[in-house]
Amino acid sequence: MNKATRIEMVERAFTLLDNKDTTRVDDIYLSPVASYTCTDWLAQEEAILFKDYPLLVAFSCDLPKAGDFITNDDMGAPLLVVRDRDGGINAFFNTCRHRGAKLASGCGRAQTGFSCPYHAWNYDFTGKLRAIPDQVSFPGVDKAEHGLVKLPVVEKYGMIWLCPTPGKDFDIDAQLGGLEQGLVEDLKAYGFADYHPYSQQRLHCKMNWKMMLDTFLEPYHFAPLHPTTVGPLLYHNLCLLDTYGQNLREAVIRKSIEKQRDQPKENWDIVPDSALVYLLFPNAGLVMQRDHVELWRSYPIPGKPDECIVQMDYYIPEPAETQSAKDHWERNMDLAVRTVLEEDIPGVEGIQAGLSSGANSHCTFGRNEPALIHFQREVARAIGRA
Ligand code: FES
Ligand SMILES: [Fe+2]
């Protein structure tokens, strides 16, 4: 985020605080309950949002060295992402070209390449098929034509996006709202390429995949739902919103911002006194918290609109080497995890049960929930249900 934006956002926050106001849109938004409960609706989301769009699959720091790989089974197909010896990133179906076995599982550092656990066909980090044991039994099988099936992948701003459909190339800057826009500028400035993975959690939740993101998209719930965790630290029902195409940046404001009122304006800075929530459409929520960043990704489970997989990754700017650094990050993470796992998720699972009951036909999003409205509207639009 550039300096002018850091100052302008503090100014906007003070104006809203002084007027006891928040960012509001012109009208309420009625969102059909079907978007959280209907299997047809979900099938369209899977077919479009999770097949045609670039999806954030990792941070660069998850794969720093040649041979570092991750796998992902949450996008409707087994996927493999690996860094090659030239420093490039490759993405493939994690599917052997012999009879389809999974080449790798979990994540780690492969030493020389990938040897299929089933019959040991061997591939290098660029997906090239190097060896077929007992090759004489495969007459006419050309190794050059049996490399792993590549997927479009882009590494930029310390982040890695892929599209799980072969040949579906994408322009990530256009998807982020355009090169000249603030979102790209923010991501560039954070320097995530130099961050370090600290911890991960994977959860199976009883809620629609969108609800995990919804919970980050309005501070209207802070005082009632988080009275003893983040509630006392953040202003209730106060947000700033900027949208970038289908994406958005929402700032919720820490009460500690008050100390900036006495400072000269050129020293104002929104980052230390807010939590900045970026929705990277369709399924990633990036939460910049002063000195660390949390990545929350949510994935639908086919045929189950009321369940999802949530993956949380916590990244820090320096490796945690000393005990006092470890204690600091543990304390920090404990607050984030307690808030989301013990308060947001049970609250949202309650919402899902309520919506699945059929009691309501729609959700009523208030004028004070503009980020939520933007997200729901963009999903509906993307699948042709606006
Ligand atoms: S399935 Fe991979 S070598 Fe046979
Ligand atoms: Fe919350």
Atom of ligand 1 minimally distant from the CA of 120: 3
Residue 132 CA to ligand 1 center (angstroms) comes to 9
For 351-380, the pLDDT digits (tens) are 999 999 999 999 999 999 999 999 999 999
Measured CA to CA, the distance from residue 192 to residue 55 in angstroms comes to 17
- CB-based burial of residue 377 (10 Å sphere; 0-12 exposed, 13-18 middle, 19+ buried)? middle
Confidence of residue 336 (pLDDT cuts 50, 70, 90): confident
Q: In this predicted structure, what is the pLDDT of residue 182?
A: 85
Atom of ligand 1 minimally distant from the CA of 116: 2
Residue 221 CA to ligand 1 center (angstroms) comes to 51
Q: In this predicted structure, what is the pLDDT of residue 332?
A: 86
Q: Which domains are delineated in the chain?
A: 3-52+178-382 (3.90.380.10), 55-169 (2.102.10.10)
From the CA of 133, which ligand is nearest? 1
Strands (DSSP E) found in 111-181: 114-115, 122-123, 129-131, 150-151, 153-156, 159-162
Arithmetic mean of pLDDT over the chain? 96
257-263 contacts, C-beta under 8 A, 24 or more apart: 257/10, 257/13, 257/14, 260/10, 261/14
Atom of ligand 1 minimally distant from the CA of 101: 1
Q: In this predicted structure, what is the pLDDT of residue 334?
A: 86
* Six token digits for residue 221: 């719930």
Omega cis (within 30) before 282 = yes
For 116-133, the pLDDT digits (tens) are 999 999 999 999 999 999
Confidence of residue 31 (pLDDT cuts 50, 70, 90): very high
From the CA of 103, which ligand is nearest? 1
Is the distance from CB of 217 to CB of 277 less than 8 angstroms?
Answer: yes
Residues with CB under 6 A from ligand 1: 96, 98-101, 116, 118-121
Atom of ligand 1 minimally distant from the CA of 117: 2
Atom of ligand 1 minimally distant from the CA of 103: 2
pLDDT of 253 higher than 90: yes
Confidence of residue 333 (pLDDT cuts 50, 70, 90): confident
Q: Going by CA atoms, what residue is nearest to atom 3 of ligand 1? A: 119
Q: In this predicted structure, what is the pLDDT of residue 291?
A: 83
For 92-115, the pLDDT digits (tens) are 999 999 999 999 999 999 999 999
Q: In this predicted structure, what is the pLDDT of residue 265?
A: 97
Residue 123 CA to ligand 1 center (angstroms) comes to 11
Q: Going by CA atoms, what residue is nearest to atom 4 of ligand 1? A: 119
Residue 73 CA to ligand 1 center (angstroms) comes to 19
Residue 299 CA to ligand 1 center (angstroms) comes to 29
pTM reported for the whole predicted model: 0.96
Note the Cα 215 to chain centre separation in Å: 13
Confidence of residue 173 (pLDDT cuts 50, 70, 90): very high
Residue 254 CA to ligand 2 center (angstroms) comes to 14
- Cite the DSSP H helix spans in the chain: 3-18, 34-37, 39-48, 172-175, 182-190, 209-214, 222-225, 323-337, 345-356, 370-382
Atom of ligand 1 minimally distant from the CA of 100: 1
From the CA of 219, which ligand is nearest? 2
Q: In this predicted structure, what is the pLDDT of residue 214?
A: 98
From the CA of 287, which ligand is nearest? 2
Q: In this predicted structure, what is the pLDDT of residue 377?
A: 97
Region 16-28: what's the mean pLDDT? 98
Q: In this predicted structure, what is the pLDDT of residue 341?
A: 92
- Among 99, 114, 115, 138, name the best residue to mutate to test ligand 1's pocket (greatest count of ligand atoms within 8 A of Cβ): 99
* Six token digits for residue 101: 């076995």
Region 43-56: what's the mean pLDDT? 98
Is the distance from CB of 161 to CB of 169 less than 8 angstroms?
Answer: no
Q: In this predicted structure, what is the pLDDT of residue 386?
A: 87
Q: Give the Cα-Cα-Cα angle 380, 345, 63 (nearest 5 degrees).
A: 80
Q: In this predicted structure, what is the pLDDT of residue 337?
A: 82
For 260-318, the pLDDT digits (tens) are 999 999 999 999 999 999 999 999 999 999 889 999 999 999 999 999 999 999 999 99
For 176-215, the pLDDT digits (tens) are 998 877 899 999 999 999 999 999 999 999 999 999 999 9
- CB-based burial of residue 322 (10 Å sphere; 0-12 exposed, 13-18 middle, 19+ buried)? exposed
From the CA of 212, which ligand is nearest? 2
